Structure formats: C-alpha cells, structure tokens
Amino acid sequence: MGEARHLDQRTKLVALACMAASVALAPNMACELLLMALAASFGAALGKGGTSVLALALYAALLVGAQLTPLLGNVALRTLFASFLLLLRKVFACGLMAYATVSTTHVNELMGALARMGAPRSVTIPLAVALRYAPTIREDWGFIRDAMRMRGVSPSPLGFARAPMRTIDCIYVPLLMSASRTSDELAMAAVARGIENPARRTCYLHLEMRRLDFVLVAGFAAVTAGMLALRLAS
C-alpha cells in the first residue's frame, strides 16, 4: 500500500486512460461494477480510502435510483432521469481515478510525466495552467465569501434568491475581477519562465518506472483488452 502511493506519474496516467477505455467498452452492469471496484481500490492504494468509500456509497445510490426510475409516471421524465443516471454511472469510475491521480500528483510531476510521454505542448500547457488556476480561484472565492458574510451578504442560493443584484455586485463581480487578475498573473509568470521557448523542456524531478508500475500498467491494459473482447463477443 505504501509503495503504491509512490507510483510513477506515467503509471497513473496510463491507468486512467485504460479505465476510460474500459468503461466505454464495458458491455454490461457486471463489468461496470468490476471497474468501479477497481477504481476504488486504485484510489485507496493512493491514500484516498475515504473518498473511495464515499464514491462507492454514491455509486450504490445511483444504482438504487436506476431501479426506481420505472416508477416515474411521465415518460419524458423517466427517459431523462434514466439517461442522466446512465451518464453518471459511466463516468463515476473515471472521475474517482482522475481525482485520485490529480490530488496525489504535483503539477510539476504531471508536466514532467507528460513531457516524457511525448505529449504535445498544445496539451501540456493548457492543462498546467488549468491545474494552477483552479486552486487560486478557489482560494479567492473563500476570501470573498468570508468577507461578504461578515457584511451580511450570503453567497448561498437562498441569499441569491432574496437579493440577486446585491449578491452579484458584492460576490460575483469581485470574483470575476479576481479571476481576470489571476489569469494575467499566471500568463506573465509563464512567459517569464520561458513557456514560449520552442526548445525541448527538461525536468529536475526523477521519474522512474519500477516493477509495481509495470505490473499495474500491464494489469490495466489486460482489463481494457478483456473489456474489448467481451464487447466484440456480445
């Protein structure tokens, strides 16, 4: 378990890609349950056991909801609800693995892994900016929310319903201004660090595939191949 928490970042990315392909190829509910259990085990191995248990509970709730869908009287509502639950069910395993991967991987490690895998800069640069941008916006949102609560302005949906213009003026306008300022700062920082340099990027982090990494990559690849075989046989 402890060794699994120090997996090579490329292993996590390959496992996530294999899981996405496997979920898309899964021919029946039994296969989807197996993939969800595999995703939960992967998350627990990376130290996200609590999140994995919560995800399994929510997944079970989705299955229960799917069984209750036929009880809806309106055909259009029943179809819409069933389609929505099917979409959630399909992306749940990938979402859990993506969360476990991103939350246990530093941006520099992810960039280094993608560079080693030969990913184009058109993919790595927007991804790196997005991963750095989201935590900053979340932090600014917390500051603005706390400041407005001290002034009696609630950011909740109920507070928005009571005073929509005041909520927009006091909370969402400052948030948009903060987001604009943050994007400018990230852009200037990226340019200062040579993001426009066409030369091949290097990474000071040591990335090494160990025996466990190869075993996991082979295992996830085998799962994807198995799902493909079952899909072709069905």
- Flag whether pLDDT at 164 surpasses 90: no
Q: How confident is the model at residue 224 (pLDDT cuts 50, 70, 90)?
A: very high
Instruction: Tell me what percent of the residues of the chain surpass a pLDDT of 70.
Output: 91
pLDDT in tens, 75-105: 777 788 888 888 888 888 888 998 888 888 8
Q: Quote the pLDDT of residue 107.
A: 75
Counting beta carbons within 10 angstroms of the beta carbon of residue 158, is it exposed (0 to 12), middle (13 to 18) or buried (19 or more)?
exposed
Q: Quote the pLDDT of residue 219.
A: 92
pLDDT in tens, 6-57: 788 888 888 989 999 999 898 888 888 999 999 999 988 888 888 899 999 9
- Flag whether pLDDT at 2 surpasses 60: no
| Residue ranges per structural domain of the chain | 4-105+207-233, 121-192
- Flag whether pLDDT at 177 surpasses 80: yes
- Flag whether pLDDT at 3 surpasses 70: no
Please spell the DSSP secondary structure of 140-181, one letter per residue. HHHHHHHHHHHTT---SHHHHHH-HHHHIIIIIHHHHHHHHH
